[in-house]
Chains A and B, each alone.
Chain A
Amino acid sequence: MSVWTILVLVIGGSLLGGWLFRKAGQQATGNKPFFRDMPFGVAFGYVFGAAILFWVVYTYILARTLPQPDANKYFFFRIAIEGFILFSIVAWLFRQAGRSVGTPLTRKLFRQMPLTASFGLLVILAYAFVSIFAGVLAPYGQEQIIPGVAANIPPGGDPAMGGNPDFPLGTDQIGRDILSRLIYGAQNTVGIAFATTCLAFFIGGSLGLLAATLQGWLDQVLSRAVDVLMAIPSLIFALLLMTIASAWAGSERWLLTIYMVLIIAVIDSTRVFRLARAVGLNIVVMDYIEAAKLRGEGLNYLIFKEILPNATAPLLAEFGLRFCFVFLTIASLSFLGVGIQPPLADWGTMVRDLAQFINFAAFAPQVAAAPLLAAGAIALLTVGVNFVVDWMLHRSSGLKE
């Protein structure tokens, strides 16, 4: 069967099925409002969703029961499904724990929390824990080439597949332990990203609120400068500046990391500036700001005591998102070779170093997983932070009445 036939069959079947489903529901429940007022699109959605769910379950069973090497085709699919279920359970347990332990305030917080947010929170906490205690947790050093151990051991730790139980995630191209490098990578990548985001917020936030409060020519100058910076594609701009910076840094490779923090912070502060200015402009028109001005309050008091407390919710939400972008930018720069410099472990560099193994995906998925581990670590944190930010945005908009 061609893809088109399948597509037509599934959608056509769902259309027919949706109609039958609604009809049957109306018959069975004696015309309850749920089925009576159900639009056809919704009925179609139910049946179509059920069809997709059926396909997922069917494929998963195939992945578990097929003999090798056919099962390899479904390896990543299986991992995704199992990971999804595992994470859901862990997030649920975490939320249950949060509901029964802690102060009344945190308990209330956990009671209202959606599962996605508790998952995101757990991920962030786990990453924070790992990066703080990297030195204790990692079995080897990040730059340690372990003597007598082969390079390129595939992850899994199964000797039959060429793995080594001492190195559950395998070793990289020069024989360093990938698990240790992942753990140290959390420290380097996440730590540097966090510092960069803080700096970007300090620059963009303070200038943005200042522009909103004073307006006039200062606002014009700052806003136009920001427009110019934003007009240049940010990754290419960062790449360009990093190339120049590497000439300045010369042989002092650690200086390059500091340049990178500054460059990304300045580029990202333009986005923060825009948000802070927009939020600030909405606040400065309030009567309480006018009242404070008429009282004779100074600029400092206006910005930090009157405006900032009302801008924290959107700024905090932006902080989460911005952190993800900064983090991805650093990883991208490292992948391109101008970011965090070796021998420091960094997830972007790790993906690049092991990238050629992705070609093994079709017949030896375990080997292909090696570069994906670091990529997965990046993705997981990004998703987690976004879940938490979504939740915070939802809460802050709810609080605003």
Chain B
Amino acid sequence: MSRLLTMKDVHIEGRSDEVWSPIIKGVDLHLDKGEVLGLIGESGAGKSTLGLASMGFCRDGVRISSGSVEFDGIDLLAASAEVKRGLLGKRIAYVAQSAAASFNPAHKLIDQHTEGPVQHGVMSRAESEADGIELYRKLRLPNPDEIGFRYPHQVSGGQLQRAMTAMAMSCRPDLIIFDEPTTALDVTTQIEVLASIRDIVEEYDTAAIYITHDLAVVAQMADRIKVLLKGDEVEEADTREMLAHPKEDYTKSLWAVREFKRPQKPAVHTGATPVVSVQNVTAAYGKVDVLHDVSFDIHEGRTVAVVGESGSGKSTTARCITGLLPPRKGVIEFDGVALPLDYRKRNKMQLRQAQMIYQMADTALNPRKTIGELIGRPVQFYMGLTGKEKRKRVEELLEEIELPASQYIDRLPSELSGGQKQRIGIARALAAEPRFIICDEVTSALDQLVAEGILRLLARLQDELKLSYMFITHDLATVKSIADEVVVMKDGEVVEQGPKVDMFKPPHHPYTDLLLSSVPEMDPDWLTNLLTERGVDNIGDAAVDKMG
């Protein structure tokens, strides 16, 4: 195999507050023709920056301070703008994380597809159009002959991501950089995108750098894996080698994250009054019903995980319970007493008992308030504590979520990391001393190690304070680790529900089965086996559709 890309001792710096600080601290990278390299690491590890640098490109406010980037004998750092123009898009292509944000909403997909080949003089417009349709077919997009003539908003997220891969392929480049192409997608959709990317990369013998934070995904895609931590390389090895025998402690800790499991709790007494009982709830946005006859109970000290894809009605159910969206039909009971359906009609006591933790800690915390104010407000509002007593309680709460009070109490949310912000969200919910907490995708925006810390914290708090959780998630690994009972939702209906042990044992409802089997595993052969099992035309969206 011949060498395609060589990066030697690359240092990259970013500018903040008029100071250049290092982002990448001397990383070597090499890639042969037709090889797929997986870059993994937490957010802030410099994966995307390194990926872009391999194209000789930097974002604004970032510079490559030293090192060399050589692509097929061309020194990209010294190359003129003209030389780079000839390479980028033609021989090196880029697939961004959010295809929805990367396509121009004002142009049809095929118009954007043909732009590259025509500009680079590879094909004529007509040839490129025909070729685009061929690529759409290979990427298993539905209606390949027509889909290109739609606008980006008329196509689903997973399909857009594949259209973008087709666009990157349009000039048959030697190298494609995939920057977290499936992170924003549902598990069932993810499989489809992964399978089609893998096939097409293999078919045209394209080299690729696959950036992700999901180990199981990278295990399917890459021939070789490189682990990054805070701009430094931790280790690099062939995929099978790396999965079987990780050398460094950091890598081992990444591998171990998925092993957090809680002990099985004894069964709930029959006849015990559940803390929260959702009974036959039907809810609508406007005139369209989005929830149909949803019922489930949540008992004291238990976690009920509500699972489903986006659009399945998980968050809507939460909005019904909190009273933000009064259901059209049905009853919400708390401790056996029916709650007013509209939150404005609930009294302070009722509001206090049910708290919520949000997915995006960034938007859930007022950016202009200090941590002390954020947590102090419910303390003052519900408990009537002021002055020193309030501060003391806030400090207690901060200890509870494992953040040193003296250090954090006067900070603003922007001065905290993602995981710390999520902890503040938890502390704010705890400050109301509730019995029931709704956790809406609380870990899905976090890195695996951080997410695990949050899960452990929630589990500990549950044991100490006898809290009940409704845990909304699309990540089945999280369900496995934290749930006592599972509710599977699809299109606003409960498909299946029961104790976790039963849910993860066959026989399943076919939809549950599909969800379960779509969760990537760390086995590099998992995707291949799954595809053989399901048959090529029966994966992802297609499988969901077949089920009706």
Contacts and interface: CB of A to CB of B under 8 A. Distances in A.
Given A288-B363, A288-B364, A295 B80 contact: no
Contacts, number: 52
Interface residues of B, number: 29
A297 B348 CA distance: 10
Contacts of B284: none
B363 A295 contact: no
A306 B366 contact: yes
Contacts of A36: 80-81
B378 interface: yes
A295 B432 contact: yes
A231 interface: no
Nearest to B81: A37
B367 A310 contact: yes
Contacts of A64: none
Interface in B83-103: none
Contacts of A306: 366
A295 B344 CA distance: 10
Given A310-B368, A401-B414, A293 B363 contact: no
A294 B354 CA distance: 9
A297 B80 contact: no
A310 B351 contact: no
A286 B413 CA distance: 15
Given A36-B80, A294-B322, A295-B432, A288 B381 contact: no
A136 B18 CA distance: 44
- Most chain A beta-carbon contacts within 10 A, residue among B323, B356, B363, B366: B366
Contacts of B428: 291
A297 B351 CA distance: 11
Chain A: number of interface residues, binned into ranges: 10 to 19
Contacts of B296: none
B514 interface: no
A290 interface: yes
B408 interface: no
Contact of B364 (A33, A287, A293, A295): A287
B363 A294 contact: no
B255 interface: no
Nearest to B347: A296
Contacts of B504: none
Contacts of A287: 358, 360, 363-364
Interface in B293-348: 322-324, 343, 346, 348
Interface string B352-380: 00011010100111111100000001100
A297 B381 contact: yes
A43 to B, nearest CB: 14
A187 B24 CA distance: 57
Contacts of B351: 294-296
Given A37-B80, A287-B360, A401-B414, A294 B367 contact: no
B366 A309 contact: yes
Given A37-B80, A295-B381, A310-B368, A290 B348 contact: no
Given A36-B80, A287-B364, A291-B356, 4 more contacts: A37-B81, A286-B366, A306-B366, A401-B414
20 contacts: A36-B80, A37-B80, A37-B81, A286-B363, A287-B363, A288-B365, A290-B356, A291-B428, A294-B324, A294-B343, A294-B355, A295-B351, A295-B381, A296-B346, A296-B351, A296-B381, A297-B381, A309-B369, A310-B367, A310-B368
Interface of A: 33, 36-37, 112, 286-288, 290-291, 293-297, 306, 309-310, 401
